[in-house]
Amino acid sequence: MQSRLSVALAALAIMTTPAMAEETILLHAAGSLRAALTETAKAFEAAGLGKVQAKFGASGLLKDEIATGAKAEVFASANMEHPQALAAEKRSGPVVLFARNRLCALARPGLEVTSAALLDRMLDPQVKLGTSTPKADPSGDYAWEVFRKAEKLKAGASATLEKKALQLTGGPASPPAPQGRSVYGELVTQRAADIFLTYCTSALVAQRENPTQQIVALPDALAVGADYGLTVMNGASAPAYQFAMFILSAEGQRTLAKHGFAAPALPQ
């Protein structure tokens, strides 16, 4: 599937003319990609290939917007399912895996927690556990996958975690992220959550802003990976295909790797 998309993108990139490069490319992308794809878009624009107008948010909400008529050309999702749903509805072309992430635990300063003790701490009634919103945001779906894995380690753990999880981000009514700040870091700072299950890349951003916050790796039995899918909408401009190609290029993949993602298209 990746080769099919690459061939299609390459063909359309060849068709791109300088006049087309003046068009504004409409990008819808997962919030966790904000830093990486903002940098990628700046490099694309600096090369004179076109201007990118980006909208970042929860991938499920963005998918729903596109499905109900919102104008978009390139969709970069934090999972494969949402872009595949658009492709199945004949709204877009093939879907390609372009980045990988993992789930980590972001913990408040002073909380005694290790990878080995993480499940016990999450189950502790005194510990506030934050997640994103399932279905609306893949990060929430991945957190629920952690809960299902926890059930195999402790009977009843899944139901307990689902009940106590505070869905603080990624939903239709969630407050917007503070301008230029990590929403996860802010929520932990405000003690809205003692532990927040989020992407490892997002936890790194939060820790850079709040150095005393802890990043705890999930133990192998609870580990959950995240595959990110890229698709181009039907009827998109040639520069939009060219931008998707740029994300898949060595330069685009190096930028993703720089921001902590695993970049599957990066030459070995």
| One domain, residues 159 and 209 | yes
54 shares a domain with 119: no
Q: 148: buried, middle or exposed (CB in 10 Å: 19+, 13-18, 0-12)? A: middle
Nearest Cα to Cα of residue 249 among 26, 27, 40, 8 = 40
Say if 267 falls within a structural domain. Answer: no
Cβ atoms within 10 Å, residue 166: 13
CATH number at residue 141: 3.40.190.10
Q: Is residue 268 part of a domain?
A: no
- Per-residue 3-state assignment (H helix, E strand, C coil) for 125-182: CCCCEEEECCCCCHHHHHHHHHHHHHHHHCCCHHHHHHHHCEEEECCCCCCCCCCCCC
Query: According to the model, what pLDDT value does residue 264 have?
Result: 87
Q: What is the pLDDT of residue 266?
A: 73
Q: Which domain holds residue 188?
A: 101-222
Q: What is the pLDDT of residue 22?
A: 63
One domain, residues 78 and 128: no
Q: Tell whether 264 is covered by a domain.
A: no
User: Quick one: pLDDT at residue 175?
Assistant: 85
Cα 113 to Cα 122: distance, rounded to the nearest angstrom: 9
Does 212 reside within a domain? yes
Q: Assess contact for 122 and 159: CB atoms under 8 A.
A: no
Q: Tell me, yes or no, whether 118 and 159 share the same domain.
A: yes
Q: Are residues 208 and 115 in the same domain?
A: yes
Q: Is residue 82 in a domain?
A: yes
Contact 201, 259 (CB under 8 A): yes
Q: Which residues contact 22 (CB under 8 A, 6 or more apart)?
A: 50, 51
Q: Is 111 inside any structural domain?
A: yes
Q: What SS3 class is residue 97?
A: strand
The residue whose two tokens read 């504004």 is 24
Q: Same domain for 34 and 108? A: no
Say if residue 140 is in the same domain as residue 72: no
How far apart, in whole angstroms, are the C-alpha atoms of residue 95 and residue 82? 10
The count of domains in the chain is: 2
Per residue of the chain (268 residues), what is the pLDDT tens digit? 444 445 444 444 433 444 344 689 999 999 999 999 999 999 999 999 999 999 999 999 999 999 999 999 999 999 999 999 999 999 999 999 999 999 999 999 999 999 999 999 999 999 999 999 999 999 999 999 999 999 999 999 999 999 999 999 999 999 887 888 899 999 999 999 999 999 999 999 999 999 999 999 999 999 999 999 999 999 999 999 999 999 999 999 999 999 999 998 776 6
Q: Of the candidates 221, 196, 223, which has an alpha carbon nearest to the alpha carbon of residue 207?
A: 196
**Same domain? 145 vs 43:** no
Instruction: Let me know whether 122 and 203 are in one domain.
Output: yes
Contact 241, 6 (CB under 8 A): no
- The answer to whether position 73 is within a domain reads yes
Assigned domain for 263 exists:
no
In this structure, are 89 and 129 located in the same domain? no
Tokens found for residue 7: 């061939």
Query: 100, 108, 128, 104: which is closest to 223 by C-alpha?
Result: 104
Tell whether 87 and 147 lie within a shared domain: no
Whether 131 and 194 map to the same domain: the answer is yes
